[in-house]
Amino acid sequence: MPNSSMCYDFKDNLMDHMKLDHEQFREHFKEILQRRFNISDGSGLELLMTMHRVANLSNMFDSQGQEHEGLSGPRWWLLLRLFFEEEMGNTDGLTPSFLSHSQRVSKNTISALLRGLEEQGFINRIMDASDLRIFRIQLTPAGREMIMRSAPGRIESLNQLYSVLSHDERASLQQILNKLNQRLMDRHCSGKDRSSGNAEG
């Protein structure tokens, strides 16, 4: 967890960088794109930059919330994913490759995370019954208990983090992000724009 002085330094540096208000910054941003690249619409780049910034700050604050549980943010999210899979009827567990893809991390990273969780007694590696080359990851009773105990406080903390948005605003943002996620998944899986030429409502 970053110490208080680091947080204040970060905030001060951010505020110094953002002396211009948001609209002034956007005007400078658009002017530079037009002058240097002859691009009149940089909304895609601006959106990506904003999403990166929000995601990075959200991850930073979220990771701070579980230090007292002895779990890093990424380890906790792996346990939560396994928990939801169980609750939805998947008692076989998930493969490391699937977890690597779903958590958007490398296989080396997922291996390190799983090794740590295994050492803590929160997961087991089970041989796949139909393919002995494959291991599946399952929660142990201790891992399940950890999620049952920590999830309510974690969820409330996230609700507080995003309380600047009203319930309706959060619902609208979720709908927008779901639509964007589907578009990006379509492009990733097909290698082309499936909706090209179609109106999007």
> Phi and psi for 8 in degrees, rounded to 5?
-65, -40
pLDDT in tens, 41-99: 999 999 999 899 898 888 887 776 555 567 888 899 999 999 999 999 998 899 999 99
- Confirm whether 118 is domain-assigned: yes
- The H-or-E segment that residue 123 falls in is strand 123-127
SS3 assignment, position 127: strand
- Confirm whether 129 is domain-assigned: yes
pLDDT of 196 strictly over 50 = no
SS3 content of the chain, % helix, strand, coil (to 5): 65, 5, 25
Judge if pTM exceeds 0.85.
Answer: no
Number of domains in the chain: 1
Higher pLDDT, 189 or 83: 83
- Confirm whether 33 is domain-assigned: no
- Confirm whether 75 is domain-assigned: yes
Percent of the chain topping pLDDT 90:
49
Higher pLDDT, 16 or 200: 16
- Confirm whether 24 is domain-assigned: no
Confidence of residue 168 (pLDDT cuts 50, 70, 90): very high
Domain around 97: 42-188
Average pLDDT over residues 32-37: 94
- Confirm whether 21 is domain-assigned: no
Whichever domain contains 183, its CATH number is: 1.10.10.10
Confidence of residue 147 (pLDDT cuts 50, 70, 90): very high
Higher pLDDT, 174 or 157: 174
